[in-house]
Amino acid sequence: MKRLIFTALLLTGTALAYGQNTTTDSTKKNADPADNSGLNISFHTRHHHKDDTTTHESPKYPKAFVGITFSRFDLGLATLIDNGSFTLSPQNQFLRYRSWKTSNVGFDVFQMGVRLNNNFKIYLSGGFDWTLIRLRDNITILPNQPVLTYRQDNIDYSKNRFSSSYLRIPLSFDFRTNEDARGNRWHFVFGPDGGFLLNGMVKQISAENGKQKIDDSYHFTSFRYGGFLRVGYNGFGIFAKYYANDMFENSPAQAGLKNLSFGFTLGF
């Protein structure tokens, strides 16, 4: 995961740096119809004028776009909400976690949509999203159990992480301001967010057993749904995501346990 995060940050930083060094005239002539601050490879229509070798964007709306992207890279904190409370109930105390080491990471790799005018676009995107819970207690969440089950261990784990990964599919409504004197804009983006479970994982490191990884669904909900909000200037901003259904399914003791995350985002 550290390697993935480093690679994602490197790609995003490279894309943003390239975008900042592009001349204004070149940007206007070759603007991506998605108007993203991330790295994009998009497919769209262009108009060519006879005896003119310069490529111009069509000034007419709506403009459809579809393509591969690396954008909306989220890096933040994840928080568990237990039936409306930030304090875990007695039956969920085994999930006690280290707040500053429990994180959310995600990014988009595909997008398609339509820009309706210079200030508003709607698009559907697809990407990946991880919730990484750093457990406080020396326990092992057990795989292949009828409900979410744990075992108390006599081992001092230097790392005990309980994580889930999802294919995320958000629908975004992107409002942006007109360009300011520096050619930058404010973005206000919100919409529903759905996700399909890819897998769950327990990763532990201890002197006794070394590094261990165990994959299982761990009763993470197979399809989650909720909403998100992003606010930013140019390519940088903040995000918040909340999932309305429970984190776990077919495990009655965890009913009402939900997931909230917030932090920084790169690329709009």
The 10s digit of each residue's pLDDT in 110-148 is 999 999 999 999 999 999 999 999 999 999 999 999 999
Q: How many CA atoms lie within 13 A of 19 on its CB side?
A: 23
Q: What percent of the chain has pLDDT over 70?
A: 78
Strand ranges, E, within the chain:
39-43, 63-82, 103-117, 120-134, 139-141, 150-152, 159-176, 186-206, 210-216, 223-233, 236-243, 257-266
Closest among 161, 157, 187 to 172, alpha carbons compared: 187
As a whole number of angstroms, the distance between CA 243 and CA 224 comes to: 7
pLDDT > 90? residue 6: no
As a whole number of angstroms, the distance between CA 212 and CA 98 comes to: 20
Q: What percent of the chain has pLDDT over 90?
A: 77
Quick one: DSSP state of residue 137? Answer: S
Banded model confidence at residue 60, pLDDT cuts 50, 70, 90? confident
What is the rounded average pLDDT of the residues 86-92?
96
Cβ pair 62, 114 in contact under 8 A: yes
Cβ pair 88, 2 in contact under 8 A: no
Q: To 10 degrees, the CA torsion angle through 89, 214, 4, 264?
A: 0
pLDDT > 50? residue 258: yes
pLDDT digits (tens, 9 = 90+) for 7-30: 454 444 544 444 444 434 444 444
Place of tokens 């532990």: 204
pLDDT digits (tens, 9 = 90+) for 135-184: 999 999 999 999 999 999 999 999 999 999 999 999 999 999 999 999 99
Banded model confidence at residue 37, pLDDT cuts 50, 70, 90? low
Cβ pair 171, 195 in contact under 8 A: no
Question: ∠ at Cα 31 (26, 37), nearest 5°?
Answer: 105
As a whole number of angstroms, the distance between CA 208 and CA 160 comes to: 13
